Amino acid sequence: MIRNIPATKNVYRTLMITNRVLNVENPIFNNNNSKATSTTHFGSKIVPTAEKSKMVGHVFSSVASKYDVMNDIMSLGIHRLWKDHFINKLDPGKRPNSTEPLNFIDVAGGSGDIAFGILDYAKAKYGDKVSTMDVVDINPEMLKEGEKRALDMGRYFKDPRVRYLIQNAEVLDKIEDNSKDVYTVSFGIRNFTDIQAGLNTAYRVLKPGGIFYCLEFSQINNQVMDLLYQQWAKVLPVFGSIVANDYDSYQYLVESIERFPNQEKFKSMIEKAGFQSVGYESLTFGICAIHWGIKA
Amino acid sequence: MSSRLLLSSGYPSLVGSRFTTIIPRRTLILESALTALASHFLLGNEARMADKMDNGELHNKNEDYTQLEKERTEERLNALRNTRPMKPNYEGHIPLWTSEKLLLFLISGIRSYYHPENGINIVQLGEATAIKPMLNHLHKLMLSDPTGRRILKDRPDVKEDILQMDKLATYPKNTFGYQFYTWCRRENVTPDTRAPIKYIDNPTHAFIFKRYRQCHDFYHALNNAPIIIEGEVTVKALEAANLGIPMAILGTLFAPWRLTSIQRKRLFDTYLPWAIESGLKCKPLINVYWEEILDKDINEIREELNLFPPSDLRTMRDERRQAIKELNDKYKKLHEENSNFL
């Protein structure tokens, strides 16, 4: 399904080497160093790990209803282009010569834009009306927004193909092992308390040959763009405070983007989870990047 | 023979050689500078990295790249955290630069004009227009009065449980506490919904402004003004005349234009004159320790403050509604009677 992936064998060999070389303990992104008082980062604050998912949940509860507006403001509407490219590149859909429907899972995709986009694309391009989709989110309000969108759209609401589940992405207890063909996560993985655990769970949940496909903010590779982005990130919380009456959520978002590992580091984290043929594509000078990996 | 090739930007040389040199008509300094800049920043990533590799800055064994990465992230995070002009002075304080305060004023001003029913817009506009001279004036007012000084010292918060609203229901009917309770329940409001202060820098000023916001309901209850827009404009006018708060002045000046003509007539004839007169005559309302006078007789309070309520707005509206209904009924009957002749 993904175009332009390298030959598996050579990549596997280089991956084994890079894995050994890059097996560095990065204290920022590795939360396993202190088991006793396990702390992690919530934006710029250091909080006990158990608290982080609650606090992240709170951020998303307060922004759930205006999430699309917030995304529009943050990325000046470009996020729609990114998501379109994300789906087009994935090229999802049960091919006409195939007998089994595909099983998609969209994680931290409460608002449903990627989930419904995938199903629409599959139907439009391949006439696929049987593939199933699990829309999964840790936050019930975001999931409710997603279901409401489905209701407003007039499809995927009360549809046996689409399930809406409240799940922690690091556990996914209701999803069986080796049961999904495609695992997508769009602008959600930076909010995971333990990103590596999320990646490991993605590995568990995917079938052999299944694709892990992630769209997330990443490191900007252009100096001019970086300067512009930094200025934008400094004024964004104030705009959020004036327009949406919410300073803290935007401050958290801007800092969580900063803390997220860069393209190469995230690629090595995906490889550490066991995926192969891991690659990435930077979009818009590296503001965000699509990472993918295939379960052996 | 020299070939005479005429190209767009130059003149052919007239020297008799086989080659033609082009002498540029004008030098392209700005264009070349811009091209160089654009190429360097937009297209020159690989060239810059090659330079670094030549200098030995890339793939340097002596560099701790993990540490560098960490430092870079910390630096950028610090830049993001230190965007405010000062540290927060109280819980929920968001310090703003002057340009941001201006932006707040513009945006909340426009939104308040089109959507005054949305409380957040009014709250933001109130804080945006709470200029230092006004807050200093209020502060001095409070400091010059013994009750005001006590309020500043105690910093009372107005909440349902602190006021013990349920106990107020049991008070004698002539007390202010009972009147306040019945007014709250009749208008279906509660003092808990007052938004916290965010944009005022001085914590004492922030408290004074919070106190002003919270006492707004007390002014309503004391003067029996309902929460419909006419009542709100009346109370705002009272506050404007008494305390000089810019938001109240703005509200008094601009809000009446969005009302119907009969509402405007009532305002201009009765309520606004009452409000301005009473506001100028009565004691500064910010110095009243409302929590302590809940059990006092309401008329005593009015005497003390020199603030007497106007005619009841709801009664006036009901009377007018009744009169219109009677007119409609009368003409309906007349119309029916007349149609019998046809």
Give the tokens for residue B241: 């005349």
Q: Which of A224, A230, A237 sits opposite B79 (nearest CB)?
A: A230
Lowest mean pLDDT among A64-78, A166-180, A197-211, B238-252: A64-78
For residue A273, give both structure tokens: 């989870």
CB contact under 8 A, A242 and B76: no
Token pair, residue B92, equals: 């929920």
- Do B178 and B168 touch, CB atoms closer than 8 A? yes
Decide if A108 contacts A214 (C-beta within 8 A): no
> Which range, A16-20, A30-34, A79-83, B228-232, has the best average confidence (pLDDT)?
A79-83
Give the nearest partner residue to A242 out of B42, B66, B107, using CB atoms.
Answer: B107
pLDDT at residue A226, rounded to an integer: 92
Which residues are paired to A134 by β-bridges? A105, A163
For B135, the token pair is 């807050």
Q: Do B70 and A237 touch (CB under 8 A)?
A: no
CB A108 within 8 A of CB A189: yes
B64 interfacial to chain A (CB closer than 8 Å): no
For position B6, what pLDDT does the model report?
45
What is d(CA A249, CA B85) in angstroms, rounded to the nearest whole number? Answer: 20
What local confidence, expressed as pLDDT, does residue B119 receive? 83
Mean pLDDT of chain A: 83
pLDDT profile of chain B (342 residues), mean per 10: 46 62 82 91 85 87 87 93 91 92 93 85 92 93 93 86 79 86 85 84 93 87 84 89 90 84 85 90 88 86 86 83 92 87 66
pLDDT tens-digit profile of B45-60? Answer: 888 889 989 998 888 8
Chain A environment of B76 (Cβ under 8 Å): 230, 258
DSSP B193-222: GPPPP-S--SHHHHHHHHHHHHHHHHHHHH
Mean predicted confidence (pLDDT) in A109-130: 92
The pLDDT value given to residue A41:
60
| pLDDT for residue A50 | 62
Residue B210: left (phi > 0), alpha (psi -120 to 50), or beta? Answer: alpha
Q: What is the pLDDT of residues A5-22, one digit of tens each?
A: 444 444 444 444 444 433
Strand partners of residue A45? A42
β-bridge mates for residue A276, sequence order: A294
By the 8 A CB rule, do B185 and B166 touch? no
The identity of residue B66, as a single letter, is T
Give the pLDDT band (50/70/90) at residue A74.
Answer: confident
Long-range contact pairs involving B206-210 (C-beta distance under 8 Å, separation at least 24)? B206/B89, B206/B90, B206/B93, B207/B152, B207/B155, B208/B135, B208/B138, B208/B139, B208/B142, B208/B152, B208/B286, B209/B126, B209/B127, B209/B130, B209/B135
In this prediction, residue B125 carries a pLDDT of 93
Interaxial angle between packed helices A247-259 and A223-244, expressed in degrees from 0 to 180 and rounded to the nearest 10? 160
Task: Give residue A159's pLDDT.
Answer: 92
The verdict on B38 touching A (C-beta cutoff 8 Å) is no
Radius of gyration of chain B (CA): 35
Give the rounded percent of residues in chain A with a pLDDT score beyond 90: 58
Q: How far is CA B37 from CA A204, A223, B29, B49, B54, in A?
A: 49, 12, 12, 16, 22
pLDDT greater at residue B190 or residue A184: A184
The minimum CA-CA distance between A121 and chain B, rounded to whole Å, is 34
Residue A134: its pLDDT value, please? 94
Interface contact B80-A233, CB threshold 8 A: yes
* Cβ-based contacts of B100 with chain A (< 8 Å): 238, 242
Residue B46 has a pLDDT of: 86
Give the integer Cα–Cα distance in Å for A132 and A118.
Answer: 10
Test mutation, A238, A246, A255, chain B, max B CBs within 10 A:
A238
A170 neighbors A198 (Cβ within 8 angstroms) = yes
| Residue A176 pLDDT grade (very low, low, confident, very high; cuts 50, 70, 90) | very high
pLDDT average, residue stretch A177-188 = 94
Q: Token pair of A234, please?
A: 């400094």
Q: Would you call B32 helix, strand, or coil by DSSP?
A: helix
CB proximity B75 to A under 8 Å:
no
Mean pLDDT of A191-217: 95
Closest CA to B248 of B259, B258, B233: B233
